[in-house]
Amino acid sequence: MGAKILGLGGKPVAFFSRTLKPHERKHHAVEKEACAIVEACRAWRHYLVSRHFKLLTDQQAVSYIYDEKNHGKTKNSKIDRWRIELSCLDFDIEYRPGPLNVTADCLSRAFSAATYHTGPSLSRIHEELCHPGVTRMYHFVRSKNLIYSLAEVKETIAKCVVCSKIKPRFCKSENSPVIKATQPFERLSIDFKGPLPSGTGNRFILTVVDEYSRFPFAIPCRDQESRTVIKALMNLFSLFGTPGMVHSDNGPSLVSHEFRSFLIENNIGFSNSSRYNPRGNGQVERYNAVIWKGIELALASKKLAPCHWEQVLPQVLHSIRTLLCTSTNQSPHERLFTYVRRSATGNSLPSWLIGASKVLLKKHVRSNKYDDLCEEVDIVSLQPESAK
């Protein structure tokens, strides 16, 4: 913290500054500014007692707190004690913006200026710290109270040749919004996974994902030819109808003239992601990883070799279609078909039926109103789906 006292001609009479104590560094910025005023008044009390003076600060909140015209109450007991201590002094407090409060600010940065002129340069500090990024580098600068600004840190890192080689920065397109489907089968994303170990000759998986519902289809294929893709999609379209758009990467079979002609004949639009940019087809790329990870887990549970992945593929697809998708907050099946997917897993008897040989059943026919409402019966058979 720093302060100065000015004489009648506007020339400085004395300067005062001190470093913050360890516990004071944890205080809020307003408390630090308020403490600076109190410390300055304590140091120059022999000048200020019985005199009317003007107090200038670059903290607008502090100027409001110490203003005599402010009769409101503060909820900070520390500031209340400081207000009582200054109440015996006659002063007018005035807010001065930071750019105009240059002299006092220079006092608080005197040590930093000395470090700036005598210490190592920012580029050397960046090199000795093993080339950190902007955030960590600027945090170090502030923690050591160096005089470098955020703009200087960014400029130094941007001009660093080593960072440019080891940590290249690529241009990001900010003005190209992601195309989102608004209804089922409006957009399909397709891609191949493989080659995979197989005992049946199917070494590839053609993954198709409905972008609206995230409903996945995984079709085992022997090769990645265009005719294989067309045959698989025709079977899919015969069940669900043709989509509005098919999106893929730049695989040879997915950009061939034969495949494009098939889409045009069926009045289906097509698009491709840019080259060397898997994020452009990120949804199906991600589902490739999710499906294969599920296959590996299912194979490990059943103690099967990786070449038997086709045996567990239906179980994995059923699991993905049934479980919640966090992006849509619905299961893919429920979002596509608008009803909850039924499953053989999870159906159980009511807890009152477990381990019971006899149960109480409502007596629909009673001879009189004094008969029991229920009767004890044996469980012969039941259907958990329809039992109420």
User: Does residue 236 carry a pLDDT above 80?
Assistant: yes
pLDDT score, position 295: 92
Q: Report the SS3 class of residue 243.
A: coil
Residues 6+ apart with CB under 8 A from 275: 250
Terminal CA-CA length for the chain: 75
Torsional sign, CA 90, 95, 101, 106: positive
pLDDT score, position 76: 78
Give the confidence band of 354 by pLDDT, cuts at 50, 70, 90: low
* Segment 207-224 mean pLDDT: 93
pLDDT score, position 243: 93
User: 76: phi > 0 → left, psi -120 to 50 → alpha, else beta; which?
Assistant: beta
Q: What does each C-alpha distance from 361 to 347, 353, 364, 370 come to in angstroms?
A: 22, 12, 9, 17
Query: Which residue in this structure is represented by tokens 């519902």?
Result: 213
Mean pLDDT is highest, among 10-14, 192-196, 275-279, for 192-196
pLDDT in tens, 304-345: 999 999 999 999 999 899 888 888 888 999 999 988 887 776
pLDDT score, position 203: 93
Give the confidence band of 282 by pLDDT, cuts at 50, 70, 90: confident
Among the listed ranges 121-135, 167-181, 214-228, which one has the minimum average pLDDT value?
167-181
Please give the helix or strand (H or E) that residue 167 lies within, else none: none
pLDDT in tens, 47-89: 888 888 888 888 788 877 787 777 666 777 888 888 888 888 8
Query: Which residue in this structure is represented by tokens 């940590």?
Result: 167
pLDDT score, position 53: 84
Percent of the chain with pLDDT over 70: 83
Geometric angle at alpha carbon 111, from 109 and 115, rounded to 5°: 110
pLDDT score, position 196: 92
| Rounded CA separation 186/183 (Å) | 6
Cβ–Cβ < 8 Å for 121, 78: no
pLDDT score, position 259: 93
Geometric angle at alpha carbon 153, from 149 and 159, rounded to 5°: 140
Torsional sign, CA 236, 238, 240, 245: positive
User: Does residue 234 carry a pLDDT above 90?
Assistant: yes
Give the confidence band of 388 by pLDDT, cuts at 50, 70, 90: very low
The CB density around residue 81, as the number of other CB atoms within 10 Å, is: 11
* Segment 17-38 mean pLDDT: 84
The single-letter DSSP state of residue 279 is G
Burial grade of 206 (CB within 10 A; 0-12, 13-18, 19 or more): buried
Q: Report the SS3 class of residue 260.
A: helix
pLDDT score, position 336: 92
Percent of the chain with pLDDT over 90: 32
| Rounded CA separation 360/269 (Å) | 62
Token code pair at residue 150: 């955020």
User: Helices in the chain by DSSP H: which ranges?
Assistant: 29-43, 45-48, 60-65, 77-86, 102-108, 110-118, 122-128, 134-143, 150-158, 161-166, 226-240, 257-265, 282-302, 309-322, 332-337
Give the confidence band of 265 by pLDDT, cuts at 50, 70, 90: very high
pLDDT in tens, 145-177: 788 889 999 999 888 888 888 877 765 655 555
* Segment 35-42 mean pLDDT: 87
pLDDT score, position 172: 60
| Rounded CA separation 369/355 (Å) | 32
- Closest alpha carbon to 248 in 224, 265, 222, 213: 224
